[in-house]
């Protein structure tokens, strides 16, 4: 498995690279989405971080089968999954490469945590090269570090 991480300004924007405070909810959510991408990928996962003077964007893309269209519009809600639970298929068409099962709660929790930080989260399929894409976008001021030394 190859995991590529890229970080660059969006659209040649000259804004400096953002500095944000370490936030457990963001780390948890990104870890969940990256682990899911690794689990469904055939051989590659891309994590792309971009920024401008107004936004910060994280894109997590795998080269797997993509999101099942029958559940894609409901992803991020509890109990929405394409994974198999035990021997019972819960609307599943495949099990990820590691054989994991799930109830969709990890995606629900990750999406909820990110939304509480001001992010918008979208789940799309890459129509050109295939694979699932998670797009996370914040207004830059939402992640500005808190002033540790007021006054």
Distance separating alpha carbons of residues 71 and 30, to the nearest angstrom: 21
Q: How many CB atoms lie within 10 A of CB 2?
A: 9
Specify the pTM: 0.82
Place of tokens 């936030």: 23
Say yes or no to pLDDT of 139 above 70.
yes
Q: What is the mean pLDDT of the chain?
A: 85
% of the chain residues with pLDDT over 90? 67
pLDDT tens, residue by residue, 13-68 = 899 999 999 999 999 999 999 999 999 999 999 999 999 999 999 999 999 999 98
- Compute the average pLDDT of residues 113-138: 96
pLDDT digits (tens, 9 = 90+) for 91-102: 333 344 444 456
pLDDT at res. 95: 40
Q: At what angle do helices 24-40 and 105-116 cross, to 10 degrees?
A: 140
2-13+20-142: CATH, from 3.40.50.300, 3.40.50.880, 2.40.50.100, 3.30.565.10: 3.30.565.10
According to the model, what pLDDT value does residue 101 have?
Answer: 52
53 SS3 class = coil
């Amino acid at each position: 498995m190859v995991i590529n991480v890229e970080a660059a300004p969006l659209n040649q924007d000259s804004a400096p690279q953002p500095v944000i405070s370490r936030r457990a909810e963001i780390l948890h959510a990104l870890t969940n989405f990256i682990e899911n991408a690794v689990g469904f990928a055939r051989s590659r996962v891309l994590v792309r971080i971009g920024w401008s003077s107004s936004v910060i964007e994280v894109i997590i893309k795998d080269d797997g089968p993509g999101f099942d269209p029958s559940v894609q519009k409901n992803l991020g809600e509890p109990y929405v999954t394409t994974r198999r639970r035990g021997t019972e298929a819960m609307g599943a068409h495949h099990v990820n490469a590691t054989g994991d099962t799930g109830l969709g709660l990890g995606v629900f929790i990750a999406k909820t945590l990110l939304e509480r930080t001001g992010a918008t989260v979208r789940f799309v399929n890459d129509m050109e090269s295939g694979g699932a894409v998670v797009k996370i976008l914040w207004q830059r001021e939402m992640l500005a570090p808190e002033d540790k030394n007021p006054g």
